[in-house]
Amino acid sequence: MIYLDSAATSLLKPKSVSAAMLNAMQTMASPGRGSHIAAMRAADKVYECRELACRLFNFDKPERIVFTMNASHALNIAIRSVVKSGDTVCVSGYEHNSVTRTLKGVDAKIVVAKSRLFDTQDTIAAFERLVPHVDAVVCNHVSNVFGFILPVYEISKMCERYNVPFILDASQSAGIIDIDMQRLNAAFVAMPGHKGLLGPQGTGILICNADPNSLLYGGTGSDSIMQDMPDYLPDVCEAGTHNVVGIAGLAEGIKYVARISPSHIGTYEEWLCSQMSDALRGVDGLEVFSTDNGTQAGVLSVRHKKINVEMLCERLGARQIAARCGLHCAPFAHQTVGTIDTGTLRFSFSPFITKNQVLTAANVFKNIIIS
């Protein structure tokens, strides 16, 4: 199979990830729940992963690295810690439902900084018009539909200037684009472990520059006499037994990413994306959403004027090529670009995919269209 659905999850991972998970399953118990060797191994592994994340994101407070189930879990903590009922929150025109549904859940008023696709200056101008008048800003770093890299450092500086808290959804950028917490004025940064960080599903990270509220309540292995949750990080947000097996795998994924560097991985995926878009450009009836202005990560959407995207995706799957079609849990992005009625077919790339595989997939896709 040629796997071109890495924006959903990184099916292809370093071998060290599964090896570390098997080792953790066989040798590690529950961190903070005992002084025996199996518990101590688990505690050491969890702390090691926090430190690895700190080094990758240029952050110096490992206790403020919170482990979550996924990015949606992390975003729920972040948003519910910053946004109150009735607050006005500015988002980009490319947000995922993990942001917008959570904002609806806290009864916030959403205003959209709508901007043209792959247009950095238009995006900055759209936020500049709204940020002075809102209570918070939540923005993704990379669109999961179109790969648009938003100017989040400029947006975060804008938020700092107007004293507006900023939450970054790094679901499609962590491990693929450099994220520097010393430059980024963000209250929280949320990310999954299973996408660009190449860890397993069931893992996520919330980087906390601000103090979060508890979303889940329960045992932490600390202050057990108290019936309130501990008021310090990371315990305040890590109720229950840790996913030690997942965290062990995530640590190996982060090591792999750090060894190669996010910028190198991102550049390679962008190159693969350009190979696919070049191969598909000019196909009769096919609209290819791409740019060469440096604002597109390794995510490419297309649609055909006559053939619906579901049929195209099904035919690709039958030929062992994995892609994704539909609205991709991001109706705001489709409304912005004008694809809400049709959806798109999305190809997304990884460091384990080759140029030959991409060109093979492109040729198969073209043959499907003309057949």
Domain 2-10+262-370, CATH: 3.90.1150.10
Q: What's the pTM value of the predicted model, to 2 decimals?
A: 0.96
Residue 40 CA neighbour count, 13 Å, CB half? 3
Per-residue pLDDT, 243: 97
Residues of the chain with CATH 3.90.1150.10: 2-10+262-370
Q: State mean pLDDT over 54-82.
A: 98
> At 181, which amino acid appears?
M
Per-residue pLDDT, 226: 82
What is the Cα–Cα distance from 293 to 306, expressed in whole angstroms?
Answer: 29
The 10s digit of each residue's pLDDT in 143-180 is 999 999 999 999 999 999 999 999 999 999 999 999 99
Torsion over CA of 332, 335, 338 and 342, rounded to 10 degrees?
90
Binning pLDDT at 50, 70 and 90, where does residue 229 land?
confident
Q: Does residue 219 carry a pLDDT above 90?
A: no
Residues of the chain with CATH 3.40.640.10: 15-260
Q: Does residue 308 carry a pLDDT above 80?
A: yes
Domain 15-260, CATH: 3.40.640.10
Q: What angle do CA 4, 313, 171 make, to 5 degrees?
A: 45
Q: Does residue 228 carry a pLDDT above 90?
A: no
Average pLDDT value over all residues in the chain: 97
Token code pair at residue 224: 């057990």
Per-residue pLDDT, 106: 98
What is the Cα–Cα distance from 64 to 251, expressed in whole angstroms?
Answer: 16
Q: Does residue 223 carry a pLDDT above 80?
A: no
